[in-house]
């Protein structure tokens, strides 16, 4: 794609260098720490699954019985139990659910533990490789998947079986991506509910069984429509790494996964969030799951004109964190949004400029573009017009992932006809303006070019300031989204542990080896 904004490549490179310096300091902390969620995710990837009669998940049972051992790595104890009891994974999970306390089992020699680790890691690698191969095979088989933007819609009834009906209907109407909105406040639960669920609020619980049910349904409609329908869920909150693990095993295709969203918008402790996001992104990278970052949320609390540079700064930081986790640019769905006040004169030009700026700077990334939400109105006709302009910008600037706006925005379970009308609108606009950008040029002193240059300049200035004070202080002072969070505050800090000498996590080692990341897991 020809770059028409003529942005300074030196300034773009400077922004990337600043982002690398900023995230490097955080990475030093990440490398020497683990969290209870990282340990539970590792157990899940080794096979720990199921729940006791009270619904407490097996990984939580293990972590609770070994809460003072997280710094040494919990996988060792699970693998030791397999070695000492002679049980297979399914049998051991059942025994743990019935009350077996593996913390009381005498430790076998390390060689026995490592043999078990090798066996379970091989099973994990095989499962993930089969998922990646199947997805790639279907994407290759169905040429329809090449059209862009991919149309992304949500389902959110609270009942996974009702979600399936809405998802299948949306796919048959033209949707390429189905996101199952997660039930309100699940991000604050420090466990993942077990089994299929039918009672969510504003969304449906993210569980492995729900993932499996929706994946099966979308595979069925994919074969019928001859388009591979991608499945999305939320890989965020206190169980970020665990949900990444479940998504990888059940072949989700995208996951909402941001480096700072939980800190800013859910008041989750920053030490916990930064450590969890790294491990979750390694899982996503191995499973070739596209992540969606959350910069669009900044513009719900900040002004889209004055604070556009905070979105771009965060995109550079998210990109840097993702690279450190072994993620290819083709998997980084950096987020942004169409959120100007519709009363602003020439606001459309600024929206166009910022969307095109993101596309040109992050040219290999599958950008995720979000619709107007902050200024949506009960006037459905005006709302439909706003969404039409959003669809125009999305197609014209070459966005990859387009979350469609709905007539009844802010209701988390939009009516079936709302979704159908949103898809018809997008398909109409996409078809009629195909090739639009290739036909136009921008004047040197045009509003569109000057606006993009201004935002880039402000971004470099902001990242320079963040580098001076550090990312923790920048967040504490409210530089992102006008939200202030103290480093020691928020939920989940008690679940962060320094890695002890001899820390053992074969899952982490496997992921780092697979992704070519230097392994510092055993360094205290």
Q: Indicate which CATH number applies to the domain containing 181.
A: 3.30.750
pLDDT at 522 over 50: no
Residue 307 to residue 257: CA distance in whole angstroms: 22
Residues 430 and 358 in one domain: yes
Q: Which segments of 328-470 does DSSP mark as H helices, in order?
A: 347-361, 380-396, 416-432, 447-469
- CA terminus-to-terminus distance, the chain: 46
For 211-224, what is each residue's pLDDT tens digit? 999 999 999 999 99
Residues 325 and 230 in one domain: no
Residue 259 to residue 321: CA distance in whole angstroms: 7
% pLDDT > 90, the chain: 92
**162 lies in some domain:** yes
Is residue 268 within 8 A of residue 491, CB to CB? The reply is: yes
Residue 26 to residue 274: CA distance in whole angstroms: 8
Residues 153 and 301 in one domain: no
- Where does a domain end: 234, 255, 283? 234
Residues 219 and 348 in one domain: no
Residue with tokens 């089992």: 105
Cross-strand partners of 34: 497
pLDDT band at 377 (very low <50, low <70, confident <90, very high): confident
**Confidence at residue 524, expressed as pLDDT on a 0 to 100 scale:** 38
pLDDT band at 415 (very low <50, low <70, confident <90, very high): confident
pLDDT at 476 over 60: yes
Residues 328 and 454 in one domain: yes
Q: Which value, to the nearest 10 degrees, does the dihedral of the CA atoms of residues 323, 325, 326, 327 take?
A: -60
Helical (H) or strand (E) element with 369: strand 368-370
Total-model pTM: 0.96
Residues 314 and 421 in one domain: yes
Residues 306 and 223 in one domain: no
368 counts as catalytic: yes
pLDDT at 521 over 60: no
**185 lies in some domain:** yes
Domain that holds residue 163: 149-234
pLDDT at 485 over 60: yes
* pLDDT mean across residues, the chain: 95
Q: How many domains does the chain have?
A: 2
Beta strands 33-35 and 496-498, pairing class? antiparallel
**388 lies in some domain:** yes
384 counts as catalytic: no
Residue 90: Cβ-neighbour burial (10 angstroms; 0-12, 13-18, 19+): exposed
Residues 393 and 306 in one domain: yes
Residues 200 and 305 in one domain: no
- Where does a domain end: 466, 485, 504? 485
pLDDT band at 53 (very low <50, low <70, confident <90, very high): very high
Residues 300 and 429 in one domain: yes
- Where does a domain end: 234, 264, 279? 234
pLDDT band at 408 (very low <50, low <70, confident <90, very high): confident
Residues 366 and 227 in one domain: no
**Confidence at residue 378, expressed as pLDDT on a 0 to 100 scale:** 83
**Confidence at residue 523, expressed as pLDDT on a 0 to 100 scale:** 40
**Confidence at residue 413, expressed as pLDDT on a 0 to 100 scale:** 65
The catalytic position among 261, 271, 503, 510 is 261
The catalytic position among 76, 323, 368, 499 is 368
**409 lies in some domain:** yes
296 counts as catalytic: yes
Is residue 229 within 8 A of residue 207, CB to CB? The reply is: no
Mean pLDDT of 248-270: 97
Look at 142-146, 500-504, 514-518 and tell me which has the smallest mean pLDDT: 142-146
**159 lies in some domain:** yes
Q: What is the CATH number of the domain that holds 449?
A: 3.20.20.440
Residues 230 and 347 in one domain: no
For 155-200, what is each residue's pLDDT tens digit? 989 999 999 999 999 999 999 999 999 999 999 999 999 999 999 9
The catalytic position among 258, 276, 296, 418 is 296
**325 lies in some domain:** yes
**Confidence at residue 518, expressed as pLDDT on a 0 to 100 scale:** 86
> How many CA atoms, within 13 angstroms, populate the side-chain half-sphere of residue 426?
28
**Confidence at residue 144, expressed as pLDDT on a 0 to 100 scale:** 67
**256 lies in some domain:** no
Residue 98 to residue 244: CA distance in whole angstroms: 27
């Amino acid at each position: 794609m020809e770059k028409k904004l003529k942005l300074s490549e030196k300034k773009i490179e400077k922004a990337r260098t600043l982002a690398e310096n900023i995230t490097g300091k955080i990475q030093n902390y990440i490398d020497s720490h683990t969290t209870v969620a990282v340990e539970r995710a590792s157990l899940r990837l080794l096979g720990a699954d199921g729940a006791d009669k009270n619904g407490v998940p097996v990984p939580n049972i293990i972590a609770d019985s070994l809460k003072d051992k997280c710094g040494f790595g919990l996988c060792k104890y699970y693998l030791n139990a397999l070695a000492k009891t002679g049980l297979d994974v399914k049998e051991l999970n059942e025994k743990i659910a019935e009350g077996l306390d593996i913390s009381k089992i005498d430790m076998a020699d390390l060689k026995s533990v490592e043999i078990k680790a090798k066996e379970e890691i091989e099973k994990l690698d095989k499962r993930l490789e089969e998922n990646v191969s199947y997805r790639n095979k279907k994407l290759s088989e169905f040429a329809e998947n090449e059209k862009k933007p991919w149309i992304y819609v949500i389902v959110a009834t609270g009942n996974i079986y009702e979600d399936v009906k809405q998802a299948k209907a949306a796919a048959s109407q033209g949707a390429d991506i189905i996101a199952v909105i997660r039930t309100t406040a699940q991000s604050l639960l420090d466990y993942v509910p077990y089994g299929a669920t039918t009672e969510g609020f504003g969304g449906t619980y993210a569980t492995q069984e729900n993932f499996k049910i929706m994946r099966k349904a979308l595979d069925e409609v994919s074969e019928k429509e001859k388009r591979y329908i991608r499945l999305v869920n939320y890989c965020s909150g206190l169980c970020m790494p665990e949900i990444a693990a479940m998504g990888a095993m059940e072949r989700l295709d995208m996951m909402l996964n941001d480096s700072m969203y939980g800190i800013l918008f859910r008041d989750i402790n920053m030490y916990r969030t930064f450590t969890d996001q790294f491990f979750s992104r390694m899982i996503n990278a191995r499973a070739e799951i596209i992540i969606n970052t959350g910069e669009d949320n900044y513009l719900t609390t900040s002004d889209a004109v004055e604070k556009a540079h905070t979105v771009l700064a965060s995109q550079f930081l998210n990109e840097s964190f993702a690279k450190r986790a072994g993620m290819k640019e083709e998997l980084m769905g950096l987020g942004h949004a169409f959120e100007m006040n519709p009363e602003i004169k020439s606001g459309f030009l600024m929206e166009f400029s910022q969307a095109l700026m993101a596309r040109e700077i992050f040219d290999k990334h599958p950008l995720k573009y979000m619709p107007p939400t902050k200024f949506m109105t009960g006037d459905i006709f005006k709302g439909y017009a706003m969404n039409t302009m959003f669809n125009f910008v999305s197609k014209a600037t070459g966005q990859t992932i387009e979350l469609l706006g709905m007539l009844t925005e802010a209701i988390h379970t939009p009516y079936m006809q709302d979704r159908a009308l949103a898809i018809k609108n997008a398909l109409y606009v996409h078809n009629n303006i195909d090739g639009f950008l290739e036909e136009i040029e921008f004047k040197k002193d045009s509003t569109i070019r000057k606006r993009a240059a201004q935002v880039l300049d402000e971004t470099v200035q902001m990242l320079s300031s963040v580098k001076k004070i550090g990312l923790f202080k920048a967040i504490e002072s409210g530089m992102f989204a006008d939200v202030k969070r103290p480093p020691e505050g928020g939920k989940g800090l008690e679940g962060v542990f320094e890695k002890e000498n001899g820390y053992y996590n074969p899952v982490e080692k496997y992921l780092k080896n697979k992704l070519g990341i230097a392994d510092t897991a055993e360094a205290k």
